[in-house]
Amino acid sequence: MRVALLIYTPWMVKFGIVGFGLHAVKRLMPGFLAAKHCQVTALSRRTMEKAQASARQFNITLAFDSVDALCRSPEVDAVLVTTPNAMHLQDVLSALRHSKHVLCEKPMGVNADECRQMVEAARKAGVLLGVAQVFRFEDSTRRLRERLASGEIGKPIFARAEFSFPGKTGHARQWLYDPAVAGGGPIADVGVHCIDGLRYILQDEVVSVSARGTHDEVSGKLEAASAMILEFSKGTLATVQVSFRADYRTPLEIVGEHGALRAENGFNVEHPVNIERRDVWEVLETETVSNAPAYTRQVDAFAQAIEGGAPFLVPGEQGWQNQEILDASYRSIKSGKNEPVPRRV
């Protein structure tokens, strides 16, 4: 008598990465290599020679020099869009036309109307659209959210997030200084991380923004640095400071009625993060966490959402809301006034 042996094979969502570049090499592929529910089966670059070289380097089966060709492939279930900001709309819509699920890098677009088009197209296609706001998958962000919600420091009065890195010369993403491609300076590039992180931690929405920006000979029409004041619906006032000029830093702090929670470089994924609970004069408690698995968690969470698991933490509507705040910030810089933020979630 023969006995049939059933071998369990975990399901895997097959990703195609559009615009495979430095971010994919440094962050995305290490994340995918540790993932349990997804794998990369295809990539696209501007030339077939470059695409094939990257595919060989990471043992990826399919290489394309066309976004549309990648999206047509039956070996791709979901598309991860990592192209420069101004290309997000056309690349996302191309994937949606082929009924592929899409995870789009931040910022979702260069203005809120682009985000609206993406969200409406995804709804019409009946597929999942998510935004790669990876810091929602960090332990530091999660613990700050949980500890604040527990009432540990009382009602949040102030919040502060900063994100800077030196990008004046020699930076790999030189398109960051092209307004037609980037759509904005550090407000769009890293300010969106601060904004989304604060919205998530505070579990609240921004109702208005006041912003100022500075320019220099390198940034041209785009801001080189900016400071924003965000007013949240429950009364918290938050400041966001961003630049392409200062050394790398991502401090994050929530000040409540009964103390403060602070994480020096709270958004980084490379080093352990110390979350401090402070009173007026001293540190009362320190909790150390690691954000190293954030990129793996992000793609696995998207894959699980595709397969009917928990909803993805950052659906397209959340990216649209972030973009409304970015747009209001740029309007404020031009007008010199406090600008209201439309509500999309």
CB 205 within 8 A of CB 343: yes
234, 107: one domain:
no
Measured CA to CA, the distance from residue 53 to residue 63 in angstroms comes to: 9
CB 97 within 8 A of CB 91: no
Which H helix or E strand runs over 340? strand 339-340
Residue with tokens 């940034």: 219
108, 190: one domain:
no
Q: What is the pLDDT of residue 136?
A: 98
Residue 249 is given by DSSP the state B
Query: What are the structure tokens assigned to 188, written together?
Result: 């769009």
Measured CA to CA, the distance from residue 241 to residue 190 in angstroms comes to: 10
| Residue at 297 is within a domain | no
Q: What is the pLDDT of residue 171?
A: 62
| Residue at 322 is within a domain | yes
Candidates 170, 226, 225, 161; CA nearest to 193 is 161
Residue with tokens 């550090």: 186
Give the CATH number, domain containing residue 44.
3.40.50.720
170, 124: one domain:
no
Candidates 102, 106, 66; CA nearest to 84 is 106
Instruction: Give 53's contacts (C-beta < 8 A, 6+ positions apart).
Output: none
Candidates 18, 163, 169; CA nearest to 84 is 18
Q: What is the pLDDT of residue 10?
A: 62
- Structural domain including 125 reads 13-134
Q: Positive or negative CA dihedral for 239, 240, 241, 247?
A: positive
Q: How many domains does the chain have?
A: 2
Q: What is the pLDDT of residue 4?
A: 44
* Domain end among 117, 134, 151: 134
| Residue at 92 is within a domain | yes
* Domain end among 69, 101, 134: 134
Residue 19 is given by DSSP the state T
Q: What is the pLDDT of residue 96?
A: 98
273, 165: one domain:
yes
Residue 215 is given by DSSP the state -
| Residue at 334 is within a domain | yes
* Domain end among 114, 134, 154: 134
Measured CA to CA, the distance from residue 230 to residue 325 in angstroms comes to: 9
Q: What is the pLDDT of residue 9?
A: 46
101, 141: one domain:
no
238, 283: one domain:
yes
234, 205: one domain:
yes
One pLDDT digit (tens) per residue for the chain, 345 residues: 444 444 444 679 999 999 999 999 999 999 999 999 999 999 999 999 999 999 999 999 999 999 999 999 999 999 999 999 999 999 999 999 999 999 999 999 999 999 999 999 999 999 999 999 999 999 999 999 999 999 999 999 999 999 999 977 666 667 788 888 999 999 999 999 999 999 999 999 999 999 999 999 888 889 999 999 999 999 999 999 999 999 999 999 999 999 999 999 999 999 999 999 999 999 999 999 999 999 999 999 999 999 999 999 999 999 999 999 999 999 999 999 999 999 999
